[in-house]
A and B are shown apart, each in its own frame.
Chain A
Amino acid sequence: MTDPVSPLRLSASGMRAQSQRLRHTAENIANTDTPGYRRKLVTFEEAIRFGRPSGEVEASRVRLDRRELPRIYDPSHPMADAEGYYLGSNVDLVIEIADSREAGRSYEANLKMFEQTRQMGASLLELLRR
């Protein structure tokens, strides 16, 4: 339990990264119908602390999905061009929902690990109390 790399910190870093991912997923879903919106993506990578890999995880910088934006025909739309098309967003709701599910699962797994670490620490301290 006196390890410098505490499992509590590892689990907490996992939860932080997953909630950031969930945040971007929510942002994407909210902007499904925004014209010209590009889907935001984050990947995970190992955190570097003081120049050394620490084993903790963190979300990378936000990147935009380079996929082509769909052309939607709607002449009455204020942003429509001369031919009546405007650019929609490249958010795919199915992907976003699947992504958010996965993030939720991983978050729960980290939370369970956090809880177990706490329990193990508490039972260790119980030895002292007697």
Chain B
Amino acid sequence: MFEKIEMMRMARAMGQHAAQRHVVVARNIANADTPGYRAQDLGYHRATTGALRVTNARHLDRPDWSPASRIVTPDGETSPNGNSVSLEEEMLKAAELKRQHDLSLGIYRSALDLMRSSLGRR
């Protein structure tokens, strides 16, 4: 029922994306010493299926906030055993993810607060 509200959908999609990327980062770190493993990442991919198309510049764009994304394998330097995971980079990504996740939860929470106060409750 909350999906109708743009802000909450946005926050939800952001949180989902953060959670999915978290899985990828965790897999990279677990495989930091596996020979031949290539580091993966999750790229943004704006889903356009089912969304309305804007035919006039004055029409309001209604983006489809879904966390659809695809796994990419960036080219990086590999160590002699063919592994391309850099622990420092993964740690950086993990910190960024944590921040994103916290942000999305914060937005979601304040949206809930907003609705609660509009209902006249505290």
Contacts A14-B30, A14-B32, A123-B101 given; indicate if A113 touches B94 (C-beta within 8 A). Answer: yes
Is there an interface contact between B109 and A127, defined as CB atoms closer than 8 Å?
Answer: yes
Q: A43-B35, A109-B87, A127-B108 are in contact. Are A117 and B22 (CB under 8 A)?
A: yes
Question: Which residue of A7, A17, A123 has the most chain B CB atoms within 10 A of its CB atom?
Answer: A7
Chain B positions within 8 Å of A81 at CB level: none
B34 at the interface (CB under 8 A from A): yes
Per-residue contact bits, chain B 106-120, to A (CB 8 Å; 1 contact, 0 not): 001100100000000
Contact size class for B?
20 to 34
Contacting pair A109 B29 (CB below 8 A): yes
List B contacts of A119 (CB < 8 A): 98
Range for the number of chain A residues in contact with chain B: 35 or more
Which of A7, A116, A127 lies in contact with B23, CB distance below 8 A?
A: A7
**Beyond known contacts A10-B30, A13-B30, A123-B102: 20 more, CB 8 A cutoff:** A3-B19, A5-B23, A7-B27, A14-B30, A14-B32, A43-B34, A44-B34, A46-B31, A55-B27, A55-B30, A56-B30, A102-B33, A106-B33, A110-B29, A112-B91, A113-B30, A113-B94, A127-B105, A127-B108, A130-B112
11 interchain pairs, CB-CB under 8 A = A11-B29, A17-B30, A18-B33, A44-B33, A45-B34, A105-B87, A117-B22, A117-B26, A123-B102, A124-B105, A127-B105
B-binding residues in A (CB < 8 A): 1, 3, 5-7, 10-11, 13-14, 17-18, 21, 43-46, 55-57, 102-103, 105-106, 109-110, 112-113, 116-117, 119-120, 123-124, 126-127, 130
